Amino acid sequence: MAWKPEQISDQTGRTFVVTGANGGLGVETTTMLASKGATVVMACRNAAKAQEIADRIAGDVKVAPLDLADLASVREFAANCGEFDVLINNAGLMNVPFSRTKDGYETQFGVNHLGHFALTGLLLDRIRDRVVSLASIAHKQTPKLWIDDLNYENRRYQRNLAYAQSKLANLMFARELQHRLEDAGSKKRSYGVHPGVSATDLFARTETPLDRISKPFVRLIGHPPAKAAHSTLFAATEPEADPNTYWGPTRLFQSQGPVEPSPSTKLSKNRELQRRLWEESERFTGITYKF
């Protein structure tokens, strides 16, 4: 029988930090966790917008400012964060025009991967249970990981490949973190998940004519945000979920359906590339993990 959020046990006493919780999957994830008794911290760049949403959600929901495009903001958030149970690395940008973060990194890679890499490293000693990182079926769209030019210093920018690279990085990070936790003998766990395809605001921020037509098309092939959040909720709350499994929908080319073990590319499982990506991420962010 397919897993459903109704199976989530009482989460009273547990605290979840959800990045990018002021839209799309983040709102759905926050709302469901709060309904199960959890305390949820909405970590968002636009704190005012997040507060408006938090005020409409029943339960113990708090808002804290976090800009993943600014490592100083990441450090400030981490400095003010106490112990909690689950970090959900949900925030992301998709197929946006070329730009760089405040620290000089290509924006999709900087926000989707480096910001979360830094945040997780700074908070790891305060996470009691697990980390859930959202990847994407788009990780399959990149033929390689440009490990020697992750920051687009020497190649032409292609927004779709930049997004795919950032999502590949999310999945490789989740897996490498799990390897390192296991090697350290830690009981903490790291999960990589994908939501399938859903008509969230990600499909309306490319600053091209596609913004006006993509959402209706996506609604046809994907599933609603409430269902797209199932893989996140499953990995964040299910006690026996296997952290070495990539969880997500598998129907219609993985665009929709119940949460199941989902296929991923051979590239995403490359242990040497996972290690090198980790080392490059430490170099970019200046964050060294302590296990």
Active site residues: 163
For the record, the structure tokens of 237 come out as: 């709350």
240/68 Cα distance (integer angstroms): 30
Q: What angle do CA 218, 227, 191 make, to 5 degrees?
A: 105
What whole-number distance in Å separates Cα of residue 148 and Cα of residue 237? 37
What order of strands is seen across the sheet that includes strand 15-19? 60-65, 39-44, 15-19, 84-89, 127-134, 189-193, 247-248, 260-261
170 in Cβ contact with 111 (< 8 Å) = no
Task: Confirm if 40 and 33 have CB atoms less than 8 A apart.
Answer: yes
Burial string for 51-89 (b: 16+ CB within 10 Å, else e) reads: eebbeebebebebbbbbbbbbebbbebbeebeebbbbbb
Helices vs. strands in the chain: H and E counts, helices first: 11, 8
Contacts of 171 (CB under 8 A, 6+ apart): 133, 135, 139, 192, 246, 264, 268
Chain centre to alpha carbon of residue 223: 18
Compute the C-alpha angle 129/3/24, nearest 5°. 70
